[in-house]
Structure 1
Amino acid sequence: MTEAIVVTPTQAVESQLDLSALFYSLLFANQSIADSGIANNLERRVMQDIELALSSPQAIAENVLKLPSKILELDRKLADDNIDTKELIKLIEQDPLLCVEVLKLCNSMAFKRSENDVTSIQQALVQVGRQQLRHFITSCLAREMIDIKPIYFRRFGAEIWRHSMQVAFLASELANAEQCDSAFLLGLLHDVGKIAIFKMLVDAFYQAEPGEQPSSTLFKQVMTTKSLTLSALLARYWRLPEHFETPLTLLANTNIKPDDEMTLIIWKANIISECSMLQQVDKLPQKELIVLLAQVGITEQEFAELHKKLLEF
């Protein structure tokens, strides 16, 4: 029998901060720059922008990171069992690009359920079910927020989207049947603050001195704590239901393990996803992985099984 690992509160905080710093290194394309404790001019400019954003999230929500107007409307209608199936299909098909993206997800390795391709929304509704189709549509609409154009930041766009999808998937797996849909959407949106900050970084990058890139430990720590706070503020401005805003607010306190049920689900899903993505590129020492898994409350075997599924995203 394997002896249970006891993790002290100090170890817990330190391991999560280490994990977050490693994860940010994964998001940046340039891995050759060594971390330093001192922020450069580019990072200082962005940190000033972050403080302004925290005092005025409205400006960020309206100019930097707009929530697609259709996302909440469609989500509500997909959740309403009284809406006629034909009416629902017609509503979705009004957006051809959305249809294309949804069908891509239906036929992706992670979600494909048969040898035959899904070729219509009606077929998707039959084959994957209403709840899963709801998840796909929400995911495709949320992805509109991630539009990173400069080549240097394209990796970030791809990796942060993959992470958001993984957290949404894991959260829905960890939640009970009643919480499943809320957990999925919350997992998908938990990192919107991070996306907003990276868009600020893109703007600042155009004014930066040649060769200046985000690399300091300080900047990564600011990103960790401030992005979660910004996510909660954006949720409030977007008028998301309270059961979205509250967990995001609680997650911003990175010094403690949350005890609120929904918050804990997202907290666990986030750690599992970050561990999986880092392990895939051999960037997470085994000793640190064991400590993190002990906090989340899963065995190495359980993690290995989840990791295998997450590789499909």
Structure 2
Amino acid sequence: MEDSQKQMFEMVESMPAFPKSVHRIIELTSNINSNPKELVEVIEHDPVLILNILKLVNSASFGLSQKITSINHAVVYIGLNTVKNLALITSTLGVLPRRNHAGFDIDKFLLHCLSVATISKLLAKRSGVADNVIFDYFLAGMLHDIGKIVFAQYLPDKFKLALAMAKEEKVTLYNAEQKVIGYDHAYIGSMLAEKWKLPSSLVDCISRHHSVTEEESKGSEFIDYVFLANQITKQLGIGFAGEILLDTIPKRIFDRFGTDLPAIITSFENLDSEIEKAQLFIKT
């Protein structure tokens, strides 16, 4: 197990790092006393980040009434926190390897993640989550399965075996990963999130997005949204992240969101169009 732990650490260290500008953005947005002007200055020194953020802000996902032409205007219209999350999403997608030898389809994987992100945000909006933090749920949905990319890139043969086991034995992929690799994608994903110095609530969500129980715990409300969005996405067959088996959904989640999964799914209006609008995120 010690050798396996060392291997996990080495894989995470081998993953590309975020640009310095993104780490600075995380630092600034974590400090309640930071000046928005500092954030704007950091982003304005990263041309790729500027281009991607402005493209997303002006997309149908935000539906703003006027075109945003500068990062300063973006901060005014959508807020510091959302600008930070856009920077994190575009930077994450920018460093992810697009090819692997595990036969893991990255395009279908990203569509799965995009659906989880969109549904997480819709669930949060329905529950009255404040506008200035609602994009946290989208970010968590986009990154919840990021550990699978690490396995596909650095342990392709073992990950391929885990994928086959999940399909043939009808077990969850994370259980198959634990049997074949010794650790699951939630664990390695949280290690990568820590390396990237992502917010602790996001690290916790990535780590626990399959560990949802009948008992609530600290941070579980945030995780519940991503967990449920993941089950809805698998039920609808949107994209593919290596498995179709649904996790057991605790009663308390149905008590919060609806009577059962079909009822919750039916309650969404224009879900297809919402996901379609959000697809620009994986085309940046």
1:304 to 268, 274, 277: 268
Displacement of 1:140 after TM fit? 1.6
**Distance 1:167-1:261 versus aligned 2 partners, 3 A rule:** farther
Measured in 2, the distance between the counterparts of 1:242 and 1:213 equals 28
The answer on whether the counterparts of 1:166 and 1:310 sit within 8 Å (CA) in structure 2 is yes
**Distance 1:80-1:171 versus aligned 2 partners, 3 A rule:** farther
Alignment of 1:256-271 (within 5 A): 256-257=213-214, 259-271=216-228
Aligned to 2:190: 232
Displacement of 1:246 after TM fit? 4.4
The answer on whether the counterparts of 1:147 and 1:157 sit within 8 Å (CA) in structure 2 is no
- TM-score, L = length of structure 1: 0.61
Displacement of 1:77 after TM fit? 0.8
Higher radius of gyration, 1 or 2: 1
Aligned to 1:86: 37
Residue 54 of structure 2 is aligned to residue 96 of structure 1: no
The answer on whether the counterparts of 2:163 and 2:173 sit within 8 Å (CA) in structure 1 is no
Aligned to 1:197: 151
Measured in 1, the distance between the counterparts of 2:109 and 2:128 equals 27
**Distance 1:149-1:293 versus aligned 2 partners, 3 A rule:** same
Displacement of 1:53 after TM fit? 5.6
Displacement of 1:102 after TM fit? 0.6
Aligned to 2:59: 108
Task: Give the aligned residue type for 1:126.
Answer: V
Aligned to 1:129: 79
Task: Give the aligned residue type for 2:145.
Answer: D
Corresponding pairs, count: 251
Displacement of 1:186 after TM fit? 4.3
1:75 to 10, 23, 26: 26
Identity in percent: 18
Aligned to 1:10: none
**Distance 1:264-1:128 versus aligned 2 partners, 3 A rule:** closer
Displacement of 1:92 after TM fit? 0.4
- TM-score, L = length of structure 2: 0.66
The answer on whether the counterparts of 1:168 and 1:185 sit within 8 Å (CA) in structure 2 is no
Aligned to 1:139: 89
Task: Give the aligned residue type for 1:229.
Answer: Y
Deviation sequence 1:184-236 (CA, Å, 0-9, x none): 654443322122123236x549xx9xxx9954425884633411122234345
Measured in 1, the distance between the counterparts of 2:238 and 2:208 equals 30
Measured in 2, the distance between the counterparts of 1:63 and 1:235 equals 13
Instruction: Note the residue ranges of structure 2 that are not aligned, 5 or more in a row.
Output: 176-183, 279-284
**Distance 1:247-1:102 versus aligned 2 partners, 3 A rule:** closer
Measured in 1, the distance between the counterparts of 2:152 and 2:128 equals 29
Greater RCO, CA 8 A, separation 6+: 1
